[in-house]
Structure 1
Amino acid sequence: MSRLDEEWPAHRPAVFGAAYRITGSVADAEDIVQDVWIRAHARDGVDDVRDLRAWLITVAARRAYDVLGSARARRVDYVGPWLPEPLLTGPDAAEPVLLDETAGTAMLLVMEELSPPERVAFVLHQAFDVPYEQIADVLGRTPAACRQLASRARRKIAAALPRRPAPVAERERVLKAFRSAYERRDEAALLELLDPDATYTTDGGGRVFAARKIIAGAGRVVTALLRVSARSALRLVPAQVNGRIEFLVYRDGRLTAVDTAEVADGRITAYRRVLNPAKLPSPREGRR
């Protein structure tokens, strides 16, 4: 067995993780993983590469950089708000590379506002500690320029995520209370759990009914949530998505959406629902 074949299972999560963070798409990331595997096997001398993990990650990043350009072009014509494709990580996910904050929904949304080079430089350095010299090879720029790209990306992200997220225990307490209030259709309780300036984003991609604009304000968000649940009973099932407990939404036993939320100061500040069938995970995707 070659070194590549022997070490690939250990490195695959990092390859997938880099591609997913850069593209925001599970499907694109899976395609990139397969492409990296094929390219690695076709390359002479790959078993002699000093740091195979870093080499595989940079190959994935280079391919993801190319994919990101076309993906951003497709999103120009996307119907309604666009949300990243949710990643089921599962309660037993053992790969830290799939669980840190750079793979969270809020972070992925903020990274959409970065230029492609900024996003690649930030992901490679922040999530994978890739040296700027290697990032320079991916982007075709100098190491100094890549350092500036990553620094600029960090400043933009810090400005876009000003509120400190809630600790895990507090977040899960708030979501548990939200789930109970939502399934009871308790309007007053829901209003108490939402920040006055809370937002609600739905991504239907033009394939299913969904709001075409982001809904803002606790009262309007609660009205929208309850209007949908009034048409048919929805069941929220806690699940680990992008490394955190979120909700899988079922209607009549069928997965119809994935909900993610941001919590700060004991209240939900942003609630998001991915409805686009093309983005919904299949059962086999519980672990990467």
Structure 2
Amino acid sequence: MSLIGHIKELRNRILFALLFIGIGTAVCFWWYEHGLGEFIRAPYCNLDEAFVGPNGDCGLLITDVFGGALIRLKISFIAGVVVSAPFWLYQVWAFVTPGLKKNEKRYGVGFVVVSSSLFALGATLAYISLSAGLELLLNLAGDDVIVALTAQDYLGFVISILLAFGISFEVPLLAVALNLVGVLSHELLSKSRRWIYFLTIVAAAFITPTQDPFTMLLLALPMCVLFEVAIQIARVVDKRRAKRDGLAAFADLDDDAASPLDARPSSLDDRPSALDTRPTGLDEPTT
């Protein structure tokens, strides 16, 4: 294709991707009153009555006229991007695929599937830990404080912790990708295993917005397991790469060429020869 053809193709792909995101946003905007809003507020509503009121009143405050509409649009847009991800990701993939080789397409599909799964796993763990983190942070305010969360602050908190967990779970995959391109070796990763685990725990303490030990360990422990899986994958990849490089060293030799073996005679020793078939353990005849 010509340069103009590539630009037109890119424009069409972007328009289709935006169309799918718009459709997903519209569906989620309708879904907000049928379960999506309750799903977002569930970690807050599951708190003790001291925080949400005796009647389970877990409503969020809105301090301006357009606050409710903006919050609903923001939640609907984020959920629409997630719901329509298979459709707009296909548009990205369809634009990139013609320039990739067969093995590159295979690696690309695997990378997208694994990265999406890791992000979803991290976001799920974050959602599970939201109630515990909120309760710990709100308890620090004391007993004489009335809790009244605004919708903007609560939504920002939820989004920040979901992104923190989801993006953090992508880091071990980055280590595998660097190993596949030859930047990181298994030997280096194996020697740095203790430092990797230590820095992972320290990073989890800084990344988690709640700053409580439960949420920190919920992020750090799965990341350590994922890093160990990445190290083992790097070990297998390096072993296969070494075997492939060893075979490639003889690729330019002719089939009738002599093998590069050391033909010098070895020194004799007192060990019995392999051709010696005399029975052992018998006494020698005396003279």
Category of TM-score, reference length = shorter chain? under 0.3
Higher relative contact order at CA 8 Å, sep ≥6: structure 1 or structure 2? 1
TM-score, scaled relative to structure 2: 0.24
Greater per-residue strand proportion = 1
Greater share of helix residues, 1 or 2?
2
Q: TM-score, normalised by structure 1?
A: 0.24
Larger Rg: 2
